[in-house]
Structure 1
Amino acid sequence: MLYPLKLNAAFKDYLWGGTRLRDEFNKQTDIDPVAESWELSCHHDGESIISNGEFSGKTLAQYIKTVGKDVIGTKAPKDKDFPILIKFIDAKQSLSVQVHPDDKYALLHEGESGKTEMWYVMDATPDATLI
């Protein structure tokens, strides 16, 4: 039986992070700074952990492997990893330079698919910029 999964986020403490995710968004973590909370993730660097129901304590990736990839939709590629990573970012300082290769390059050099990004800015200081 399928039911809504509640997920615990994975947290990242990159140097450019702040405290807003913990202080204003009530994210439960002891790390400082809290640069990112990975809310929905099957990535090996920070997997979401299920906090309710039969699969409580299991990772989202373990859940998908157990129940089958059809749970992520009929259009999702069956031969690829879970294709979505949703995270909140608190960039108190300028972020590090980032490069996201396409699938072909990433598979050859990193052993995983490339990354396409979409940002939705929820709040920003008046002097904030995106380049």
Structure 2
Amino acid sequence: MTVQPYPLQFEPVFKERVWGGQALSRFGLNIPEGAIGEGWMIGDHPNGTTKVKNGELAGKGLDEIREAYGREWFGSKALNGKSGRFPLLIKLLDCNDDLSVQVHPTDDYERLPQGELGKTEMWYILDAKPGAKIIYGLKEGVDRAAMEKAIREGSIMDTLQEVPVEAGDAFYIPAGTVHALCSGVVVAEIQQNSDTTYRLYDYDRPGLDGKPRELHIEDSLNVIAYEGAGARG
């Protein structure tokens, strides 16, 4: 079947997160009950693939469309050579609580899961409560040794830059930048098509299953860009 390209609308894939809430319902989305932290709006990933809800291709996943029409519709450079998938993942995030302090690897990190990319991303702040902030990069002079010491002593928050935010702000988060969205913001996130996150710190809280959430200290220390991450004040 030959289908002419047309504007595709996708059904979001929602993800429950320990830090989520119900704020995405304010953006015209019919979200399920629970702590909904993420709406994957356009996704072509094993952990979340969005399906078309309009036109001739209604019901088809973005993965199926990519396989059938990828090069013709998206261009010869649009499909990533490493994963073969659509190169972007677009999300809405409801940060009803603080996210973990985290960092993402670059594409060439040798310990990436099979088929995964690194993750460079950007944030656009859609809504922010008074006093809302993000964690965005390291303070001056923080190297690997200083970060290891801070983790060991429980003082990691002292190594991080905090930035106040309001609706309309945008931030570029290169791979290797330590970061965290904090409570009270709703964010549009445009990122590389990856679901690899290394957590440095998570406030000693349990996950949705009641168990401590996994940290990834060694991988985090390996991939942090201690200088030149593009996120210094």
TM-score (norm 1): 0.89
Partner of 1:44: 46
* Of 103, 108, 122, the match for 1:118: 122
Separation of aligned partners in 2, 1:75 and 1:122: 30
The Cα of 1:77 is off from its aligned counterpart by 4.4
Separation of aligned partners in 2, 1:100 and 1:70: 31
Q: Which runs of 5+ in 2 are unaligned?
A: 136-233
Query: Aligned pair in 2 of structure 1 residues 31, 6: CA closer, same or farther (>3 Å)?
Result: same
Which residue identity lines up with residue 65 of structure 2 in the other structure?
Y
The Cα of 1:49 is off from its aligned counterpart by 0.7
Partner of 1:28: 30
The Cα of 1:30 is off from its aligned counterpart by 1.7
Bigger radius of gyration, 1 or 2?
Answer: 2
The Cα of 1:50 is off from its aligned counterpart by 0.6
Secondary structure of 2:127's partner? coil
> Percent of pairs identical after alignment?
40
Separation of aligned partners in 1, 2:80 and 2:24: 34
Partner of 1:95: 99
Q: Which whole-Å deviations, capped at 9, do the CAs of 1:69-95 have from their partners, x for residues lacking one?
A: 231124324523211011111101001
Is contact 2:19–2:97 with CA below 8 Å preserved after alignment?
Answer: yes
Query: Aligned pair in 2 of structure 1 residues 72, 93: CA closer, same or farther (>3 Å)?
Result: same
Secondary structure of 2:45's partner? coil
Q: CA RMSD in A?
A: 1.6
Which residue identity lines up with residue 112 of structure 2 in the other structure?
H
The Cα of 1:61 is off from its aligned counterpart by 1.1
Is contact 2:49–2:62 with CA below 8 Å preserved after alignment?
Answer: yes
Equivalenced residue count is 129
Separation of aligned partners in 2, 1:61 and 1:77: 11
Q: Which whole-Å deviations, capped at 9, do the CAs of 1:5-57 have from their partners, x for residues lacking one?
A: 110011111010111102x1131232411111111111111111111222211
Partner of 1:7: 10
* Of 50, 60, 63, the match for 2:62: 60
Is contact 1:38–1:86 with CA below 8 Å preserved after alignment?
Answer: yes
